[in-house]
């Protein structure tokens, strides 16, 4: 299996702090996912870590980042980590991939009866026992915010929704969130606005729409 545990152009580079910022979750939670679960329990089963070291800081690829996003959604639905990890192991074997939660077929197969979460696969149904009622809108979020490539693997991610212009693409700026089509970091726009520059002025200087400026501000203010 390809674990993408070395820096590679087009695979993205995401540290725990960057993932925490993009997904709006506590750093400690991401650190646990990375070290205890993916590098620990899951990684040990396959004899490989999912992360690599960058000057003393651990980083992961885009597909591992997406798996953390799915883990976050399961956590919000009340699914225990033990059950998510068990499903990950089983699905890894089914699809011969180290990144089952980044696959379109898997995410498309998520179902709920209001009390339990099921993953319908080509070989059967895996049940995840959620402790909270799963809102069907939460399931839809898997697809609303993701785009898949010809191999059915997640290829791009919109952290605040596809209707907004903020995009995470591993082929652009090492996977850092940018304004789609412009490759401008939203933080740059936010800093201008924080300094007192009017939205119309910022849009003119960077040759973007005022709507794109507002999307960048929305993304940064949510952090």
Q: CA 209 to CA 45: how far, in whole Å?
A: 49
Flag whether the pTM goes above 0.95: no
Mean pLDDT to the nearest integer, 179-185: 94
Neighbours of 175 (CB within 10 A): 22
44 band by pLDDT with thresholds 50, 70 and 90? confident
Instruction: Check pLDDT > 80 for residue 102.
Output: yes
Which CATH architecture does the domain made up of 156-223 adopt? Answer: Orthogonal Bundle (1.10)
44-53 contacts, C-beta under 8 A, 24 or more apart: 45/89, 46/1, 46/3, 46/92, 46/98, 48/1, 48/3, 48/5, 48/98, 49/3, 49/5, 50/3, 50/4, 50/5, 50/98, 51/5, 52/5, 52/6, 52/7
Structural domain spans, the chain: 156-223
Q: CA 101 to CA 67: how far, in whole Å?
A: 5
pLDDT in tens, 188-206: 999 999 999 999 999 999 9
pLDDT in tens, 147-180: 999 999 999 999 999 999 999 999 999 899 999 9
CA atoms within 13 A on the CB side of 132: 12
Say what the pLDDT of residue 17 is: 95
Q: Does the CA dihedral 204-207-212-217 come out positive or negative?
A: negative
Q: Quick one: tokens of 192?
A: 């201008």
Strand partners, 112: 117
């Amino acid at each position: 299996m390809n674990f993408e545990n070395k820096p590679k152009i087009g695979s993205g580079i995401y540290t725990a702090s960057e993932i925490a910022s993009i997904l709006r979750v506590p750093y400690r939670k991401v650190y646990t996912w990375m070290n205890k679960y993916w590098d620990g329990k899951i990684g040990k089963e396959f004899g490989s870590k999912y992360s690599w070291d960058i000057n003393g800081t651990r980083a992961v690829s885009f597909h591992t980042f997406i798996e953390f996003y799915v883990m976050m959604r399961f956590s919000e639905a009340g699914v225990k980590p033990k059950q998510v990890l068990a499903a990950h192991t089983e699905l890894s074997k089914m699809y011969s991939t180290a990144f089952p939660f980044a696959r379109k077929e898997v995410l498309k197969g998520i179902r709920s009866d209001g009390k339990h979460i099921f993953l319908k696969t080509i070989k059967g149904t895996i049940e995840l026992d959620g402790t909270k009622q799963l809102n069907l809108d939460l399931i839809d979020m898997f697809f609303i915010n993701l785009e898949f490539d010809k191999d059915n693997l997640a290829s791009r991610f919109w952290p605040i929704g596809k209707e907004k212009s903020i995009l995470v693409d591993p082929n652009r700026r090492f996977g850092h969130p940018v304004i789609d089509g412009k490759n401008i970091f939203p933080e740059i726009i936010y800093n201008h606005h924080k300094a007192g520059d009017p939205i119309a002025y910022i849009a003119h200087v960077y040759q973007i729409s005022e709507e794109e400026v507002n999307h960048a501000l929305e993304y940064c203010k949510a952090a």
